[in-house]
A and B are shown apart, each in its own frame.
Chain A
Amino acid sequence: MTTTKTDAPVVAASNEPTDATEPAGSARSERLSALVQQHGALAVLVLVALVASFSFDSFATVDNFTNMATGSAFLAVVALGMTFVIVTGGIDLSVGSLFALGGVLAAWGSRHGTAVALLLPLAVCGLIGVVNGLLVARSRLAPFIVTLAAMLGARGLMLALTDEGANTYLVAKDSLFAELGQGSTLGLGNPVWITLALFAAGALVLRRTRFGQHVYAVGGNEDAAALMGAPVARTKILVYTLSGLLAGLAGALNAAWLASGVTILGNGMELDAISAVVIGGTLLTGGLGYVSGSLVGVLLLKVIQNVINQIGSLGSSYQLVVSGAFLALVVIAQTWLGRRRRLM
């Protein structure tokens, strides 16, 4: 050991690799917490489904499952976009209004053909998404206030298009567009297939492309991401645009399914979408999240809703109470897990 005063500790230590990871015990609990965070929702889903199958005869039937699948599809598409937004650390409260607006635009557009019925809601909702993104990314306004304003504005626009909600546009029967929502392939409704395809694409984009890396990076540490060369503003604009597009598409599919542009839909949908995403293990603070988790989250919400319906004696108001309480519980659980893993 050398004895010069500055070298002593240095020489002693520099042979060891610079590795200061945590002790083994905490690594194990970290893995466990990570597992619970990522797959907890799936476990709960399986559990609830099992209990429900034994408790209600009408639960575990093919009809009920296909209905639930179709019923989940629209929310799932919205939640997919919300996942991207939340992973960047943002939030999009405008999706419910965009869903309704998308439905009205699609129903109105279906008179001019399937292409218009699909492209018009995508164009308008995508544009509102772009505006959200620009205001958040370029003007650096808080996402919740921007999208809250967009929620109001989009609902206003939707009401203006429908004579203050008095006018409901119908989708022509037997049109290709109606088939998109109402038809089924291999026993599952078309919206379900579309949703599955979108989720597969979404998972691929988030996990395996540079854009996906940027989404994680922006949510993980925005300043660092910018310094590391990630296009922060572009990424944010894209995720809000994506969220707008998907909300509009979900609205359009829903209109095709219902055969009309119902104006009273989408209220509180942002809450369901946020709940689903958070249940699925995506951190509300950003930087960590799973597309597959959001799908599980949507299914879990729908199963619970289905169970409440099966009980029968509970009115729809109870659903609101349960949704609110459920969100609170999930967020508490997530915060607790996150704190254990020191993610926050």
Chain B
Amino acid sequence: MAEAALRTAPPDRARLLQWLQTYGVYAGVALLLVVNTVITPHFLSAENFRTQAVQVAPVVIVALGMALVIGTEGVDLSVGAVMALAASVTALYLGYGLLPALLAVALFAAGVGFANGALVAFVGVQPIVATLALMVGGRGLALVLLPQLEDLRNPQLASLGSGDVLGVPYLILIAAVLALLVAFVVRRTTFGRQLLAIGDSRPAAELAGLPVRRVLIVVYVVCALLAAVAGVLATARLQASDPTSLGNLMELSAITAVVVGGTPLTGGRVNIAGTVAGAVLIQLLTATLIKHDLPPSWTQIAQAVVIVCAVYAARGRGKR
């Protein structure tokens, strides 16, 4: 089939599908923006955009880590639990100051990520199951550490959640910086290339002498750390630690953002810009439904439909 690939002249339908897979998510965002401009009152306001962006920031941050994991042909279902754990640990250690609390959060998150990575890389458990175990165990641990919602009064934490630079909230800045950083890592570093090679063909990567286990563990640790960042930011914005409900279904939102953004579940490719756009798309969709007084149950159903459509459109791209 080498010749086939060399003189490819794909029919229009294939080309359309290709285009949809690559740019569909941006078109979707644009479409929702236009539709909302027309049908939603007060949509085109700086305040509204600010609110939307602040709401989407944690999802974007979690989705960045998820994109890396999915790039290795894995998946991390424990991100929501890590967010809850981050909230618990923040509340627990905030008495010692913000920085020690953040360090403790980082340690716990790295521990969960390491456990995920070790199960996947050393034991050889399927990622879904390994991270499912940590998803339940992690949420349990969060609740054991902090059984119920607790209000947090710490001015530094509060300013992290609601402060801004020149009108741009910290949350958005942090999400943007992290997105750029992750994109850079994927494109320009040996780690990024090795990650993609492992996702595409793990046996080949192993025989080519790549440090497969190290890369996998680092990926899961990074994913957990990013989820922890999102957890801390969400907690800072709430000014309360809520391990019961924080991060619920976050794994689903993050996977949706990644898949809608054009990263195939089969690994070997990571699209960071698409992932950010995917998160924005889901956020706009939710906001649209909410602004038109549709109940949350509808949002869930709509999100389910979007996931299936996105996976369906991306079908077969991972394979040749």
Q: Say if the beta carbon of B34 comes within 8 Å of chain A.
A: no
Q: Say if the beta carbon of A318 comes within 8 Å of chain B.
A: yes
Q: How large is the interface on B (under 10, 10 to 19, 20 to 34, 35 or more residues)?
A: 35 or more
CB <8 Å contact, B265 and A145:
yes
The docked-state distance in angstroms from the alpha carbon of A142 to that of B307 is 12
CB <8 Å contact, A328 and B133:
yes
CB <8 Å contact, A321 and B137:
yes
Question: Which residues of B have CB within 8 Å of A344?
Answer: 124
Q: Say if the beta carbon of A271 comes within 8 Å of chain B.
A: yes
Known: A148-B255, A271-B132. A317 touches B249 (CB 8 A): no
Q: Say if the beta carbon of A68 comes within 8 Å of chain B.
A: no
Q: Say if the beta carbon of B87 comes within 8 Å of chain A.
A: no
* Residue among B119, B265, B312 making CB contact with A332, cutoff 8 Å: B119
* Residue among B125, B141, B143, B304 making CB contact with A153, cutoff 8 Å: B304
CB <8 Å contact, A274 and B129:
yes
Q: Say if the beta carbon of B135 comes within 8 Å of chain A.
A: yes
CB <8 Å contact, B136 and A324:
yes
Question: Which residues of A have CB within 8 Å of B124?
Answer: 335, 339, 344
CB <8 Å contact, B147 and A315:
yes
CB <8 Å contact, B301 and A153:
yes
Q: Mark B134-148, 1 if CB is under 8 A from A, else 0.
A: 111111110110010
Q: Say if the beta carbon of B111 comes within 8 Å of chain A.
A: no
CB <8 Å contact, B305 and A324:
no
Q: Mark A201-229, 1 if CB is under 8 A from B, else 0.
A: 00000000000000000000000000000
CB <8 Å contact, A140 and B311:
no
CB <8 Å contact, B249 and A152:
yes
Q: Report the nearest A residue to B139, measured CB to CB.
A: A320
A267 → chain B closest CB, angstroms: 9
A-side binding surface: helix, strand, loop or mixed? helix
Q: Say if the beta carbon of A141 comes within 8 Å of chain B.
A: yes
Question: Which residues of A have CB within 8 Å of B119?
Answer: 328, 331-332
Known: A145-B307, A152-B252, A274-B132. A317 touches B143 (CB 8 A): yes
The docked-state distance in angstroms from the alpha carbon of A167 to that of B277 is 37
* Residue among B115, B140, B312, B315 making CB contact with A319, cutoff 8 Å: B140
CB <8 Å contact, A152 and B126:
no
* Residue among A135, A145, A149, A321 making CB contact with B141, cutoff 8 Å: A321
Which of A74-82, A155-163, A169-177 lies on the face that meets chain B? A155-163
Q: Say if the beta carbon of A284 comes within 8 Å of chain B.
A: yes
Q: Say if the beta carbon of A9 comes within 8 Å of chain B.
A: no
Q: Say if the beta carbon of A252 comes within 8 Å of chain B.
A: no
Q: Mark A306-337, 1 if CB is under 8 A from B, else 0.
A: 00000000010111111111011001100110
Question: Which residues of A have CB within 8 Å of B115?
Answer: 328
CB <8 Å contact, A327 and B136:
yes
Name the residue among B125, B147, B299, B316 with the largest chain A CB count within 10 angstroms.
B125
CB <8 Å contact, B132 and A327:
yes
Q: Report the nearest B residue to A141, measured CB to CB.
A: B311
* Residue among A149, A323, A331 making CB contact with B307, cutoff 8 Å: A149
Known: A157-B297, A327-B129. A145 touches B137 (CB 8 A): no
Known: A148-B255, A156-B301, A160-B297. A268 touches B136 (CB 8 A): yes
Q: Say if the beta carbon of B52 comes within 8 Å of chain A.
A: no
Q: Mark A108-144, 1 if CB is under 8 A from B, else 0.
A: 0000000000000000000000000001000111101
B53 → chain A closest CB, angstroms: 24
The docked-state distance in angstroms from the alpha carbon of A332 to that of B121 is 12
Q: Say if the beta carbon of A95 comes within 8 Å of chain B.
A: no
The docked-state distance in angstroms from the alpha carbon of A281 to that of B307 is 32
CB <8 Å contact, A332 and B298:
no
A177 → chain B closest CB, angstroms: 26
Q: Say if the beta carbon of A146 comes within 8 Å of chain B.
A: yes
CB <8 Å contact, A331 and B125:
yes
The docked-state distance in angstroms from the alpha carbon of A270 to that of B130 is 14
Known: A320-B139, A332-B125. A156 touches B315 (CB 8 A): no
* Residue among B132, B138, B300 making CB contact with A159, cutoff 8 Å: B300
Question: Which residues of A have CB within 8 Å of B303?
Answer: 149, 152
Question: Which residues of B have CB within 8 Å of A159?
Answer: 295-297, 300
The docked-state distance in angstroms from the alpha carbon of A111 to that of B140 is 38
Q: Say if the beta carbon of A91 comes within 8 Å of chain B.
A: yes
CB <8 Å contact, B305 and A153:
yes
Q: Say if the beta carbon of A253 comes within 8 Å of chain B.
A: no
Q: Mark B279-320, 1 if CB is under 8 A from A, else 0.
A: 000000000000000011111110111011001100110000
8 shortest A-B CB distances, which residue pairs? A324-B137, A320-B140, A156-B300, A153-B304, A159-B297, A317-B143, A321-B140, A156-B301
Show 9 residue pairs from A and B whose CB-CB distance is below 8 angstroms, ordered by the A residue.
A141-B312, A146-B308, A148-B255, A148-B307, A150-B304, A285-B126, A321-B141, A324-B134, A328-B130
Known: A159-B296, A160-B301. 10 other contacts (CB 8 A): A146-B308, A150-B304, A152-B301, A164-B295, A268-B136, A278-B129, A315-B143, A317-B143, A328-B115, A331-B119
